[in-house]
Every structure is written in structure tokens, then in C-alpha cells.
Amino acid sequence: MDLLTATLQANIQRFFKNGMPVATWHYSSDGTIKREGEKISGVVRMYGESGSLLSEMTYKHNDLNGRFSLFSENGFLEEEGEFKNNQLHGAYTQYYPSGKIKLQGIYRGGMKNGNFRLFYESGITEEEETYKNGALDGNYSSFYPNGVIETQAIYKKGRLIKITQFDTNGRIKNEEKY
């Protein structure tokens, strides 16, 4: 698989292989892309003005397919995951600047599927939610920073069925069914 580099200025992205230009993509305001040059296949690294790595994306025939990583200007890993046919597909993780995990979940065909967990920077779970085809479906829980349950809910196909809210000591303060 080829290793390529890319630059992005305004609405023009240029791709290079061994320092030589191989393709140019023009992005229009309506979201369409005019592609010139060869099809992009391989790992593409994009660097910021300071020279720091901003992204590493895997392409196959101009489509995002495979692992990707996004970095801050300071070089910290912010996000990583996988694409299949230009859609998020597979494990997905976001990070705090400290390197601790902020969010973990699974995508299928560009939609959230399965369990997603959001964490406080301390590592304590902030939210747990279950998705099916992009809609909340199943249990949802949120927690206070000390780990005590704050909210429990049940969703079915994106619709709220039941919600229970708790005070900071874990005692029920409100419960509703829909």
C-alpha cells in the first residue's frame, strides 16, 4: 500500500506520492468533489503548517476504507477508528488531550450500533447508551462525576419509554413512563 501526503488549502486538496503531485480534489460549497489525477489508494498523511501530523487516513480507489487517526496541532491523538466505503464502520474512540479515553463505541454503515460509553477525564463513566441503526435502543445511563447513577432510561427505536432520575446520593427523585 502506498504512503501519500496531502495538503488542504481553502477548498483544494492536493495529493503527493514521493513528493510528486498525483491528484487534486476541488470541494464545492454544495458538497460535490471534482477529482483530477489518479485514484488515491493507500495511507494519506496530512500535515499542518507547523509540520505536525494532523491526520492519517486510508483510501482505496478514492474512498475512505480502513483505519484513520486524527491529531491536534500539538500532536495529541484526538480520534481513531475505521471507515468502510466512506462511512464510519467498526470501533471508534475519542481521546482527551491527556491521552485518556473520552468516548468509545461501534459504528456500522455510518450509524452508531451497540454500546457507546462517554468518560469523564478521571476515567469514571459519564454516560452509557445503546444504539441500533443510529437510534437509541435499549438502556441509557448517566452518572455523576463521583460515579453515582444520575439517570437511567429505556429507549425503543429512538423513543423514550421510561426514565428514572436520582439525586447525588443515589435516591430516586423522579420517575416517568411514556
What the chain holds in terms of domains, given with CATH numbers, is 1-84 (no CATH), 89-178 (3.90.930.1)
Phi, psi (5° rounding) for residue 74? -85, 0
> In the predicted model, what is the mean pLDDT of the chain?
94
Q: How far apart are CA 126 and CA 128, in angstroms?
A: 7
Q: Please tell me the distance from the alpha carbon of residue 129 to that of residue 6, in angstroms, as a whole number.
A: 36
Q: What confidence score (pLDDT) does residue 49 get?
A: 79
Percent helix / strand / coil, the chain, rounded to 5: 0, 65, 35
Q: Which pTM does this prediction carry? A: 0.88
Query: How confident is residue 151, by pLDDT bands cut at 50, 70 and 90?
Result: very high
Mean local confidence (pLDDT), 112-129? 98
What's the DSSP call for residue 39?
P
Total length of the chain: 178
Percent residues over pLDDT 90 in the chain: 78
Among 68, 66, 54, 62, CA closest to 23: 62
